[in-house]
Amino acid sequence: MRRLPRGFYRRDSRELAPLLLGKVLIVGRRRARIVEVEAYAGTEDPGSHAYRGQTKRNAVMFGPPGHLYVYFTYGMHWCANVVSSVEGVGQAVLLRGAAPIAGLEEMRAARPAARRDRDLCSGPARLCQALGIGPSEDGADLVRPAPGGPWLADDGTPPPLEPAVSTRIGLTRGAEHPWRWYIAGDPNVSR
DNA sequence: ACCGGGATGTTCT
DNA sequence: GAACATCCCGGTG
């Protein structure tokens, strides 16, 4: 289990996103393999929180790469992004789906509504709930993680040679760009 | 299986 | 006021 170095994140979000497929997100004893991601391309991307420039909410997106941008939406859900590119450019990759690997008892306790294990992390807000990611993880450094804090690992599993591609989910503006990547056929991909 | 609606509060117009 | 990078539940087939 090798921690991903800062340089790994220092690329365009549309290049980084498919490279995150197969990587392992770790929070405490809970581990899940990323199977679905979306790229958000910064101030030129109408679908991105960064489109209208830096605000208090999206400030982490404009910071250095390799940090977690966590935001609140629909009055009740938290979603997590990996900040990419370089400082000053508001790019990030949304984590939309993951396959539970370890700490499943903790995940089930955190997600009582999940009827099957494939429902634990199959969605951006589900994934955060299962792993215990919330406002206190906004800005967390994945390269030099706090004890028990979130980090990303490479366990030798290569990203898929030809990941499935589609348009992004849930957007009205910027919905035409094919910036969603996922592992075809994986049951942990969101519906 | 699929579909429709409600929850809930921050952010922006 | 409206929109929102969503999820859950209860209806019907």
pLDDT digit string, tens, across residues A17-64: 999 999 999 999 999 999 999 999 999 999 999 999 999 999 999 999
Q: What is the pLDDT of residue A109?
A: 98
pLDDT digits (tens, 9 = 90+) for A72-119: 999 999 999 999 999 999 999 999 999 999 999 999 999 999 999 999
| pLDDT band (50, 70, 90) for residue A191 | confident
Can you give the distance from the CA of residue A186 to the C1' of nucleotide B1 in angstroms?
19
**pLDDT of A16 higher than 90:** yes
CA distance A185 to A145: 32
Confirm whether any atom of chain C, the nucleic acid strand, is less than 7 Å from CB of A94: yes
Which segments within chain A are labelled E, that is strand? 2-3, 24-27, 30-40, 68-73, 77-83, 92-102, 151-154, 164-166, 180-182
CA distance A115 to A61: 34
Q: Point out the nucleotide closest to A72 (alpha carbon to C1′).
A: B10
Q: Point out the nucleotide closest to A58 (alpha carbon to C1′).
A: B11
CA angle A78, A135, A35 (to 5 degrees): 45
The residues of A between 23 and 62 with beta carbon within 7 Å of nucleic strand B are 52, 55-58
Can you give the distance from the CA of residue A118 to the C1' of nucleotide B2 in angstroms?
19
Q: Which residue has the tokens 């004893």?
A: A29
Q: Nearest-CA residue to the C1' of B11?
A: A57
Closest to A190 (Cα-Cα) out of A127, A132, A134: A127
Confirm whether any atom of chain C, the nucleic acid strand, is less than 7 Å from CB of A104: no
Can you give the distance from the CA of residue A170 to the C1' of nucleotide C9 in angstroms?
20
Q: What is the pLDDT of residue A47?
A: 97
State the average pLDDT over residues A160-188: 97
The structure's pTM equals 0.97
Can you give the distance from the CA of residue A49 to the C1' of nucleotide C13 in angstroms?
40
